């Protein structure tokens, strides 16, 4: 049997990390078993669904590299099919019209709560044989005896008595279908046989199973993934910081780092922390997903991102860095090759935003010097040191980092100064700050023209300060 999984977000906002982890688990399971992965957009909530959210979901999936084999399918394109299924259930006697008003339902609920009973629909219209009318919803006639058994691939066996389930609404008064109907019709029609989703859907699963049984459909296998918590133990939400997948892109994370972090949120393979995507596919099993919730830790994600920046192919990192350069208004063609910048900066950059920001001076002239760096390194005599270096650099036929570094060492010896008294004023002169890659690397990346011009500027700056 070929395995088919799906990811079915509602386009009422961005793609959040909880949804991305569910998508990842579904994608990994399909890829591991040579199956197919379907993307479905559940956009029947017409008031809240937006094209902007659809675009955000598609953009997030693309950035993460979670390519889908089928879709995206849109539920709003399938209303005729849902009506057909609702009609079938009505004709079979497995659904009925309910005319109970909101006021009646609220009174019913209040009475049940006063009696310390579980609030639920009491079946008032179940055998009333109402005809279709303007204010009537359609309810599924849930079995009143027996039980639903779910052999959950993560949670284990779950048994729910049908007496605990009321007759849920499958079509609203305006005729539009509800989530619990559309989702199972889609899974049935699309041949989805492994439903991997958040455990907030566990209450829906027995209801959906009963409708599938009424339709004579084959039941999928279910796997309910535990939720993600914030550091305070509450469900992860906006107040815990960035929860949108694309916000992590904006903040300078590599997609593989986020995928690696998400796969480890609730799944493990021994003590291994870092997994390539190929390793994730090879090793992932639903049996190894934790039953309990996982806590999101931003520091761990940041550590992981730094590992990926340091150890990934520099060309791959440069590809993602290019976008961040553009965001800062930097044209990467106006300076050194981005791959060389990545190699120079990766040890000290935990995010691509950090790398882009600290590499700006390679491509653009800076305004003011860092105040603290200038005060410490542009002291009396620093202009003379820089002049000696400038003369030596200008005379060099080839612009070679190693040779330039040798000249810095020779100058320190010649002037009987510590290396820091020569290299640091030079560093501040060419970068505007006291922190940069090794001086030979910095000078090589900057090139002759920018380096010499900035040294002249620094000499004049120090002389003006003296005057």
Contact yes or no for 211/22 (Cβ under 8 A): no
Identify each DSSP E strand in 2-99 by its residue range: 4-7, 36-41, 70-74, 95-98
Residues for the chain: how many in total? 467
Listed in sequence order, the residues at least 6 apart from 213 whose beta carbon sits closer than 8 Å to its beta carbon are 219
Given the residues 163, 213, 238, 466, the one annotated as active site: 238
Omega before residue 41 within 30° of 0, cis: no
**Residue with token string 């410490």:** 376
- Asked if 180 and 207 touch (Cβ cutoff 8 Å), the reply is yes
Tokens of 396: 């060099």
Q: CA–CA separation, 344 vs 325, rounded Å?
A: 16
Query: Residue 215 and residue 118: Cα distance in Å, rounded?
Result: 28
Element (H, E) at 32: helix 17-32
Q: Which two tokens stand for residue 312?
A: 């990934």
Which residue matches tokens 């991305």? 20
Rg, the chain, Cα only = 31
> Is 238 a known active-site residue?
yes
CB 228 within 8 A of CB 21: yes
Let me know: does 390 contact 425? Beta carbons within 8 Å. Answer: no
How would DSSP label each residue in 202-256? TTHHHHHHHHHHHTTPPPPEEEEEPPEE-TTSSBP-GGGS--BHHHHHHTT--HH
Which residues are identified as catalytic? 238
């Amino acid at each position: 049997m070929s395995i088919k999984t799906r990811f079915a977000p509602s386009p009422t906002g961005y793609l959040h990390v909880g949804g991305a982890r569910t998508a990842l688990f579904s994608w990994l399971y399909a890829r591991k078993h040579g199956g197919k992965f379907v993307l479905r957009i559940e956009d029947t909530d017409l008031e809240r669904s937006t094209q902007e959210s659809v675009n955000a979901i598609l953009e997030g999936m693309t950035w993460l590299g979670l390519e889908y084999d089928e879709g995206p399918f849109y539920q709003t394109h399938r209303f005729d099919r849902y009506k057909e299924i609702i009609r079938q259930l009505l004709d079979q006697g497995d659904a009925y019209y309910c005319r109970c008003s909101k006021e009646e339902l609220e009174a019913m609920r209040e009475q049940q709560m006063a009696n310390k009973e579980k609030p639920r629909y009491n079946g008032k219209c179940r055998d009333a044989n109402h005809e279709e009318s303007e204010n009537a919803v359609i309810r599924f006639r849930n079995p009143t005896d027996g039980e639903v058994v779910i052999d959950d691939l993560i949670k284990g066996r779950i048994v729910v008595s049908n007496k605990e389930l009321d007759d849920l609404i499958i079509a609203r008064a305006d005729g539009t279908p509800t989530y619990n109907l559309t989702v199972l019709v889609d899974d049935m029609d699309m041949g989805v046989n492994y439903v991997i989703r958040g455990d907030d859907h566990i209450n829906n699963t027995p209801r959906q199973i009963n409708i599938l049984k009424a339709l004579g459909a084959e039941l999928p296998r279910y796997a309910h993934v535990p939720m993600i918590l914030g550091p305070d133990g509450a469900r992860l939400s906006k107040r815990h910081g960035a929860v949108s997948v694309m916000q992590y892109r904006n903040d300078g994370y590599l997609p593989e780092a986020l995928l690696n972090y998400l796969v480890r949120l609730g799944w493990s393979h021994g003590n291994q922390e870092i997994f390539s995507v190929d390793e994730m596919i090879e090793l992932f099993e639903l049996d190894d997903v934790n039953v309990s919730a996982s806590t999101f830790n931003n520091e761990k994600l940041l550590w992981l991102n730094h590992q990926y920046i340091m150890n990934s192919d520099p060309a791959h990192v440069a590809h993602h860095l290019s976008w961040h350069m553009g965001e800062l208004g930097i044209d990467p063609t106006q300076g050194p090759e981005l791959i060389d910048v990545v190699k120079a900066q990766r040890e000290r950059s935990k995010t691509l935003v950090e790398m882009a920001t600290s590499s700006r001076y390679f491509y653009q002239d800076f305004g003011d010097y860092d105040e603290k760096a200038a005060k410490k390194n542009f002291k009396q005599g620093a202009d003379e040191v820089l002049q000696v270096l400038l003369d030596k650099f200008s005379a060099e036929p080839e612009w070679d980092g190693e040779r330039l570094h040798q000249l810095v060492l020779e100058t320190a010896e010649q002037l009987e100064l510590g290396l820091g008294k020569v290299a640091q004023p030079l560093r501040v002169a060419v970068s505007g700050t006291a922190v940069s890659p090794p001086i030979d690397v910095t000078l090589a990346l900057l090139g002759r023209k920018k380096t010499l011009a900035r040294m002249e500027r620094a000499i004049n700056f120090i002389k003006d300060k003296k005057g």
